[in-house]
Structure formats: C-alpha cells, structure tokens
C-alpha cells in the first residue's frame, strides 16, 4: 500500500478534482492565511518550499496521483460512502460506511500519523502524507464526498447553465467557478482572502471556533468522522432536499445555484480553517517530541489498516462501488 517513487511534477498535471482546482487551492490558501508561524515553518520544511502558495501548489496533487499506476490504491481515500437515505435521513456510520479499502476518514487518520514519523517513514512519504492531508481535509467538506447515493451524485445527470453534466461535477466545479468567475490560482487566492476576512472579522467570526471544536490529532478518526458527518448533513438540507427527481429535469444554474452557493462558501471556509488548526496541532506535537527518535517496534501499523472498521460482509452498495471502480468516467 505504500507508493515508492513518482515524478513530483505530476502535481501540475490536469485531472479530475474534487472541489475542482479552485476549491482545493482556496482551502489551502485559507490555511496559509490562518496557520501559526510554527505550523508554517514545519509545513514548509516538509514541502521544501517557502514561497506563497506552498500549500496551494500541492493541493490537487492527490487527485493527479490517484490516476497513476502507482497511486491507484488511494482512489478510495477521497470519500466515504454513507449508506443513508437522503433526503429522508442523512447520517454516517463508520463501521457501515468506510469501505474495506479505506475511506477519507481512515486516510486522514493514517496520514496524520505518517506525517509525524520522519525517523521511520522516508522523507518522500512524509511529504506525500502532508500533501494528502492538505487534499483530504478539503474533500471531506464537500457533501457529495460523504454520500453513497448514485456514487456521490456522479450518476445523477443534470444540466448547469444549459450544459449537460452530473450533480457531483456541479458541486465540485460548476458552482464554485461560476461564483468566483474563474479557476486560476490567482482566483483561488482572492477567494481565500475574502473568506479569511469573513472568518476573522466577518460573518463566520462567531461560528468559526465550532468548526474545529475539540478535534485532536490524538484521535484523528473521531475528528474526521465529525467533519464527514457535518458535510453529509447538507446532502439532505441543501444538495437534494427534494430528492433526485427534483434536480434531474432542472437547470441547476438558476434557483438551485442561488440556494447552494452559501453552503459551498461555508464548506470551503471550514476546510481551510480546519486544515490550519490540524497542521498547527501536528507541528506543535513534533516540536515537543523533537529529539526523541521513534523505534519501529513502538509504532502501530503504518499502512493504516488498524484504523479501518472490522472486516465484514460487503453491502450491495459497497459491491457496486467495487465493481465500478474509480476511473476517469467518475469524479467521486
């Protein structure tokens, strides 16, 4: 399960991205705006970059890497397939919903541990672990990355501003890009600056602390599960409040867009805020433990298997997911 080598220039290659390039880069820029000096120095040392955009420049690497032969093992880590019943009920059960190959919750837990083991994991793997965290803390805020229905909306055909697409793509890309008016790195930086101001002094100021709450790197599964549950709740309230049939015959570039864009901004802001605080916690823990070299026999299984739910018979939904796989025809 551990990749060996990959050309890091893949980070700039084009592929299909959750939240789109714009969303992931905006999450990363927000984190850069909010992270402490200690967290910044720690992250920059791992990424070997002190330039502006040191997080944003690698924010979509995980999506590119998953489509390489070496990285295909990581495809399941970008989501958790909640087998709930929207819009009647939305919920996540970790034992039920995290697949046998892992999910975004187990991946956040595993790479939170791996990024803290520079004496055991290679420098390249520590670098990869941080890149995955930057990406997955964005993925987990997108509601359809926390939902099983129709492969996270990929199989719900819709139109957006008269263009044929699917519901997942509308949330990942169409609506954010329509709102911002572009998708460049500069657009992401501007959007991040606006959302950072809302977090510090604007409409999110009073609620921002609740986005992270008591989350702790000492229990990363619980933290990530809380974030996934939060994202999943919007499937019932915003994404599909009237069910699948209500969106299939409607152009979502009109009233639907107006009803969803505030949630998209909120979730992007949450992703950036959480990422900054998560990295700050890891950096602080590394500073405290510096000089204490870990031994291999002191560590848990670094492939992350110990974070997975206990083995169980696969549900029909998990069997369907396994049969379809995660090729380029789907954006989940």
One of 17, 145, 321, 332 is an active-site residue; which one? 145
One of 113, 135, 274, 332 is an active-site residue; which one? 135
| Catalytic annotation present for 24 | yes
| Catalytic annotation present for 78 | yes
One of 42, 61, 63, 321 is an active-site residue; which one? 63
One of 17, 114, 131, 168 is an active-site residue; which one? 168
Q: Are 2 and 45 in contact (CB under 8 A)?
A: no
One of 17, 42, 61, 78 is an active-site residue; which one? 78
One of 17, 19, 61, 191 is an active-site residue; which one? 19
Based on its alpha-carbon atoms, the radius of gyration of the chain, rounded to whole angstroms, reads 19
Enumerate the β-bridge partners of residue 165: 158
Q: Are 133 and 112 in contact (CB under 8 A)?
A: yes
d(CA 157, CA 265) in angstroms, rounded, equals 24
One of 17, 61, 66, 84 is an active-site residue; which one? 66
One of 84, 97, 172, 230 is an active-site residue; which one? 172
d(CA 315, CA 330) in angstroms, rounded, equals 21
| Catalytic annotation present for 219 | no
| Catalytic annotation present for 145 | yes
One of 81, 139, 146, 230 is an active-site residue; which one? 139
End-to-end CA distance of the chain: 21
One of 24, 274, 277, 321 is an active-site residue; which one? 24
| Catalytic annotation present for 330 | no
| Catalytic annotation present for 172 | yes
| Catalytic annotation present for 168 | yes
Q: Residues near 70 by Cβ (< 8 Å), separated by ≥ 6?
A: 3, 4, 5, 6
- Per DSSP, the residues of 88-148 read TB----HHHHSBTTB-HHHHHHHHHHHTT-TTTS-HHHHHHHHHHHHHHHHHTTSGGGG--
Task: List residues with catalytic annotation.
Answer: 19, 24, 63, 66, 78, 135, 139, 145, 168, 172
């Amino acid at each position: 399960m551990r990749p060996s080598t990959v050309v890091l220039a893949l980070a700039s290659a084009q592929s299909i991205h959750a939240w789109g390039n714009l969303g992931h880069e905006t999450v990363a820029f927000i984190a850069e705006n909010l992270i402490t000096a200690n967290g910044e120095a720690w992250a920059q040392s791992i990424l070997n970059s002190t330039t502006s955009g040191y997080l944003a420049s690698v924010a979509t690497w995980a999506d590119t890497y998953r489509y390489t032969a070496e990285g295909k093992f990581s495809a399941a880590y970008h989501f958790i397939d909640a087998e709930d019943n929207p819009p009647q009920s939305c919920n996540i059960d970790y034992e039920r919903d995290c697949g046998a190959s892992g999910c975004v919750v187990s991946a956040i837990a595993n790479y939170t541990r791996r990024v803290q083991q520079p004496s055991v994991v290679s420098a390249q793997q520590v670098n990869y672990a941080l890149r995955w965290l930057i990406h997955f803390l964005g993925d987990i805020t997108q509601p359809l990355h926390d939902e099983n229905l129709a492969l996270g909306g990929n199989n719900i055909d819709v139109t957006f501003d008269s263009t044929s697409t699917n519901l997942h793509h509308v949330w990942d890309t169409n609506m954010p890009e329509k709102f911002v008016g572009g998708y460049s790195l500069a657009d992401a930086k501007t959007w991040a600056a606006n959302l950072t101001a809302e977090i510090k002094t604007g409409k999110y100021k009073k609620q921002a602390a609740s986005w992270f709450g008591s989350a702790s790197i000492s229990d990363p599964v619980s933290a990530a599960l809380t974030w996934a549950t939060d994202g999943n709740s919007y499937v019932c309230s915003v994404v599909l409040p009237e069910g699948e049939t209500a969106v299939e015959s409607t152009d979502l570039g009109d009233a639907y867009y107006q009803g969803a864009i505030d949630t998209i901004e909120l979730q992007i802001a949450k992703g950036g805020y959480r990422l900054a605080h998560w990295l700050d916690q890891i950096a602080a823990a590394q500073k405290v433990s510096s000089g204490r070299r870990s031994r291999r026999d002191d560590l848990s299984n670094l492939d992350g298997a110990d974070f997975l739910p206990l083995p169980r018979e696969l549900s029909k939904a998990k069997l369907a997911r396994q049969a379809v796989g995660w090729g380029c025809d789907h954006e989940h």
